[in-house]
A and B are shown apart, each in its own frame.
Chain A
Amino acid sequence: MKFKEPIVLVALLLIGWQLLYLIVGDVALRSPFSTVQNLKTLLEDARFLPHVRETALAFTQGFAIAVVVGLLIGVPLGAARFAGEVAEPILVALYSIPKVTLYPVILLIFGIGMPAKVAFGAIHGIVPISIFAMNAIRNINPTHLRTARAMRLSTFDLIRTILVPAALPEIVTGIRVGFSLALIGTLLGEMFGSQRGLGHLLMQAMSLHNIERILALTLLLVVFAAGINALLLALDRRLHARV
């Protein structure tokens, strides 16, 4: 029963895609079936895999930096109420600006290539992860902390038995949001300042008006992002249900 809705949804999306294809035709779109075939050919192409590896490498590094830095910013801000109140609107403002405009700055600092992509992925992911981590720590029930003090828990036990279990669900939510944004950031980075990677291939296909390629890449990215997100979401819901 649990899997019925996603299947219906995917079927509906495929039907919608096919209908759109029947309306606009070959000029601008390909059918779902031929796109899957194109993607298969692409994945079998030896020249394609280095690009996937490049994007995967840039994204993994950017995401890892985003998680570490995001937690390093968010956790202390959640623990220190005053500092948190000072920083929160600044973080929210940073979240809402179009970070793509900062891309030239990143490129001027890091130069074209891997570091710029990693940095761009990281700055997209850091802010949401730190906002969620801050709120996770801030919203820990004070009674739990007082109980811990009454029981004279050591710092290590406090972290292990109270802080981590209480804050983890929200932190995982933040990591889920940060994951998506870091992926967007990495791809955007590759679109402008790179000669390799999936973002670069997208940009290239766009200027060559290569519709098969655009669709195959978009499908690959969407399936990857949606798949990982579904896994993280399942973890997220399990953790939230436990509390």
Chain B
Amino acid sequence: MKVLLARTLLIVGAVALLEILCRLGVIPNFTVIPPSAMAQSLWKILASGKFSEDIAATLTNVGIAIAAAMVVGVALGTLLQSWPAARRTFDPLFATYYAVPMYAFYPLLLVIFGLGDFPQIAIGFLLAVMAVIINTLNGLDRVPPVLLKTARVHRLGLVSAALRVRLPYAAPYVFTGFKLAVAYSFIGVVGAEFITSSRGIGYEISFAYNNFDNPVMYAMILFILLLVISVNMSLHAWEKRLLARRRRA
């Protein structure tokens, strides 16, 4: 409780400090506008519905990227776990995957797929899918042998053993992968929109920046930060509940 209080005080204090510095003119308004002005501008924008289409586009693309990463990631993770030779071969790829600057592939994706929604979704997917694969593998590695033996005694096939025994056991680890997939999809999609695209929240931020439209730019930055942080916080809370239930069982 004390921790929570201190954390809230810290955040409120930081925001208040920024507000005061901006109002006093220590930080000039063409660099950063006061947080209260950001919130006001955001409220106006959301009420007017000016960017509803962009917000919907970004959320749809992020959603598609997450869903695809989950399905493909869990499937590939399960497959690789039951095929040790392939897993050993791809292991260096897993270890290096996040070292590669994924945005370097964005120009290539744009050339191949054109300037639609697909390249953004692809970047989000590519960033997210490896987290799901790695965490699925990690979870499946921890399934106790006795459960596997039980599955064999019941003569479950490979697929039904995976669906009924191994994946449910690995669920908390898969959930960690899911949490990361959500964060990475947002990073990928919004980042790609920011680089080049025709719509979306990232696009609107870069458009406002290029037009020196600070109120809109900071409002949209605030929006994406609040959105991502609240989504991650809710997932974190949900994960804690899941883990608590498992420990009781």
Query: In the complex the two chains form, is B225's CB within 8 Å of A86's CB?
Result: no
Query: In the complex the two chains form, is B32's CB within 8 Å of A108's CB?
Result: yes
Q: A6-B92, A217-B104 are known contacts. Are A101 and B111 too (CB-CB below 8 A)?
A: no
Q: Distance (Å) between the CB of B58 and the closest chain A CB?
A: 10
- The answer, among A9, A86, A176, for a CB contact under 8 Å with B93, is A9
Q: Which of A104, A105, A222 has the most chain B CB atoms closer than 10 A to its own CB? A: A104
Q: A86 CA to B99 CA in the complex, in Å? A: 29
Q: Is A218 part of the binding interface, using a Cβ–Cβ cutoff of 8 Å?
A: yes
Chain B contact patch, size range: 35 or more
The interface residues of chain B, by DSSP majority, are classed as helix
Q: Is A202 part of the binding interface, using a Cβ–Cβ cutoff of 8 Å?
A: yes
Residues of chain B lying within 8 A (CB to CB) of residue A209: 111
Per-position 1/0 for B1-34, Cβ under 8 A of A: 0110011001100000000000000000011100
Q: Is B37 part of the binding interface, using a Cβ–Cβ cutoff of 8 Å?
A: no
Query: In the complex the two chains form, is B191's CB within 8 Å of A100's CB?
Result: yes
Query: In the complex the two chains form, is A98's CB within 8 Å of B186's CB?
Result: yes
Question: A-side interface residues toward B, CB under 8 Å?
Answer: 5-6, 8-9, 12-13, 24, 28-29, 82, 85-87, 89-90, 92-93, 95-105, 107-109, 176-177, 179-180, 183-184, 187-188, 191-192, 202-203, 205-206, 209, 211, 214-215, 217-218, 221-222, 225-226, 228-230, 233
Question: B-side interface residues toward A, CB under 8 Å?
Answer: 2-3, 6-7, 10-11, 30-32, 88-93, 95-96, 98-108, 110-112, 183, 186-187, 190-191, 194-196, 201-202, 205-206, 208-209, 217, 220-221, 224-225, 228-229, 232-233, 236
| Listed A/B pairs (24) with beta-carbon separation below 8 Å | A6-B92, A9-B93, A13-B93, A29-B108, A93-B232, A95-B183, A96-B229, A97-B229, A98-B228, A100-B191, A101-B221, A101-B225, A105-B31, A105-B221, A107-B209, A108-B30, A109-B32, A218-B105, A221-B101, A222-B101, A226-B96, A229-B95, A229-B99, A230-B92
